Structure 1
């Protein structure tokens, strides 16, 4: 049985940061956003988190050989067609109701094969997949031989909305390429949909633990210990020396290069990374936009302990 810790939530909620921190723990292998591996990496050959082109990375080359006899044997078009068929947010009600199709089982088992190979290659006890997508977490319930545990990452909707308005380049892609951007109203609706879906997932028999982005930054050691324990690791025996405090009280994490397949450009950052609250939205998000996002997300904001 392969243990997979799935980090979910709407993008810009801190999943990449949590994955990077967990990736410093012995026995943990961070994989990045596996949902994008099929097209961005296998098909397009973008760079791994180790900064090598995907097909030149010895780790992922080994995973491909172990799982499929080589990446050339993977029908990417078929997997993407399956994703369009079964892994959409609009399908969550049907997935939550327990609907199982041949396409769903086929799609989930591509992930199962990849996870098993990654566990074999890394020797890790816990794999971390920061794919985020709620619909994928539902699909993975059908993956054979997977012990799925979900971390639901939540961040103040107004901070998320502001982050989605910023221009962020994707250095792993050839040429000028930026991450998707959303208007605040659109990101607020997505925030509601994704977070509601993860709340419902916990009622479907899948272990789900909620982690607030703000709590992670306020207490990185305590949060990492709690999540590691949830993943089945011995929290008391963890070496957290990569987390340190400067004399002025600033927290830092010393991060090493990892083989994350896709995701936020932060996955390429190595060395000392300051762990500080990103509160720019309080000044940079226009008051009208702040009120709009707050109004649209007010019920869940309150449920998650935020002041609307």
Structure 2
């Protein structure tokens, strides 16, 4: 089962990329699968289709196929695994070629949950490729141990000053109890940007060994938000090839240089764009260049300078 895992820092365009990839023939986008345990355990928020998750035909059918119904899934156990397995402090072990002991058992149990969800969604839709935009690179490090998953990672990168500015803005989060997306200070988001992208970079070099089998390396494709929006058709065509989808020009007819025609989705989490259907304008969000206070912009540039240079972004 082939899975495209979108990894990187939040507010880097992952919801947009997830939606566009999900519109490709043979692909099924699920959004941020890591949030499912919370949704069915306590928060019955709105699915991107507009229905409550408990009343959404798609997610009800996924639960039936994966667990015999969501009521039969041990969501408390899944919540525990979500807290203890993909932790930053476990990165040195998760990136090793072998796992042993209790961590190996917990990782296997944790990724089996994802594999069941992916398989159920693929079975329902007939999709060749499942898209998961959970973003956390530590989850990507865990997923490479799943025996039934052909994992391919898209490392999505955006200029940290644009990311930091986005995290300072008040943004609605429709269909949730909180009503608003969380916010970070520029310094906090810059530190997270460094950390998340550094760990995502490990996926390109980390190898794994499942059950004594030959070690493998996870294919990783780095995508820059700004370049993707500058030429979306070419960028998506390249990612479709990376995903193993053989597309004709007609398969990209929904995608133009300045907009995409999107179907009704069933995405989990992400920004309010997850609810968009029909014609969605495609343009780089570069309001930070004028709206982000210079002092805060310089602070983010200083904190992120090594990776900024490595990724080819200007310091000023």
Global fold match (TM > 0.5) = yes
One of 107, 110, 113 as aligned partner of 2:110? 107
Q: Which residue of 2 aligns with 1:161?
A: 164
Tell me by how many angstroms 1:236 deviates: 4.1
2:290 corresponds, among 283, 290, 295, to 283
Pairing partner for 2:226 from 211, 214, 217? 214
Distance 1:224 1:235 in 2: 11
Matched with 1:293 is 300
Equivalences, count: 301
The alpha-carbon deviation at position 151 of structure 1 amounts to 0.1
Structure 2 residue aligned with 1:137: 140
Q: d(CA) in 2 for partners of 1:47 and 1:41?
A: 11
CA RMSD of aligned residues (A): 1.3
Match of 2:211 in 1: none
Partner of 2:129: 126
Answer whether contact 1:42 1:55 (CA < 8 A) is retained.
no
Runs of 5+ unmatched residues, structure 2: 207-216
TM-score calculated relative to the size of structure 1: 0.94
CA drift at 1:214: 0.3
For structure 1, the residue ranges without an aligned partner over 5 or more in a row are: 246-250
Select the residue among 245, 252, 268 that pairs with 2:275. Answer: 268
Moved over 3 A (4+): 235-238
User: What is the CA distance between 1:92 and its match in structure 2?
Assistant: 1.6
Output one character per residue of 1:71-117: Cα deviation in whole Å (capped at 9) or x when no partner: 00112111111111111233222211243421111111111111111
Please give the alpha-carbon distance, in whole angstroms, between the structure 2 residues aligned to 1:299 and 1:99.
31
Q: How many angstroms does 1:237 deviate by? A: 5.1
1:210 positional shift: 0.2
